[in-house]
Amino acid sequence: MNNIPKEREELIEMFGIHFELLYNLSPLGSRILGLLIIDGCKKGLTFEEIVEKLGASKSSISTNLNLLLKMDKINYYTLTGDRKKYFKSSPFSERLTNYLKILDFEKQIIEKLQAYREKNISCPEEQCNLENTKAYKKHVIEVEELLIKTIHKFKEIENNNSKIIINQF
């Protein structure tokens, strides 16, 4: 017995819940993103295909697609002579680059907090907080370094894949 449709639906639902929590997206927006990750990796999905697969209203799908586009979670392309847009999830390297932006801002906050604590320590609790801040800053820098390595690896994979696709035509 073939359980692929059930597995597919479970994966889309799991992605949906994950993206609701991670990005504070609507349930439908989260499921659109999950659907594009699962079914849109080859050529992308058209607006009509997304409406059909998720069974939601056109206006709800349109609103959520526009939000996902603005958030850089998805992108689209068009084909010459074809008026349809083909939606795909953004490549891993792009999605992870957004995390770098968050980490960079967090590093700025941590550095300001550390400088403030160093100038204004007045009790053992604040000294403890300063040590925690330093440890957290070190952790964020390590995560950033790992993320940069991962992004470079994903870009390498994505570039190799795009060369393969171009060579097929």
Q: Tell me, what's the pLDDT at 92?
A: 85
**Cα 68 off chain centre by:** 10
pLDDT tens digit string along 78-91?
999 999 999 999 99
Helix (H) or strand (E) holding 79: strand 74-79
Residue 34's contacts (CB-CB under 8 Å, 6 or more residues apart) are 11, 12, 13, 14, 15, 16, 18, 19
How many CB atoms lie under 10 A from the CB of residue 105? 10
Q: Which of 45, 64, 66 is nearest to 56 (CA)?
A: 64
SS3 43: coil
**Nearest CA to 23 among 76, 75, 74?**
74
**CB neighbours (10 Å) of residue 77?**
10
- What integer pLDDT is reported at residue 6 of this predicted model? 92
What span, in angstroms and rounded, lies between the C-alpha atoms of 20 and 67?
A: 13
Angstrom CA distances, 151 to 8, 91, 112, 145, 154, stand at 27, 10, 27, 10, 5
Confidence of residue 12 (pLDDT cuts 50, 70, 90): very high
Task: Give CA–CA dist 129/136, Å, rounded.
Answer: 10
pTM check: above 0.85: no
- pLDDT tens across 133-144, in order? 999 999 999 999
For the segment(s) 4-89, the CATH number from 1.10.150.120, 3.30.1550.10, 1.10.3720.10, 1.10.10.10 is 1.10.10.10
Summarize the confidence of residues 82-107 as an average pLDDT. Answer: 91
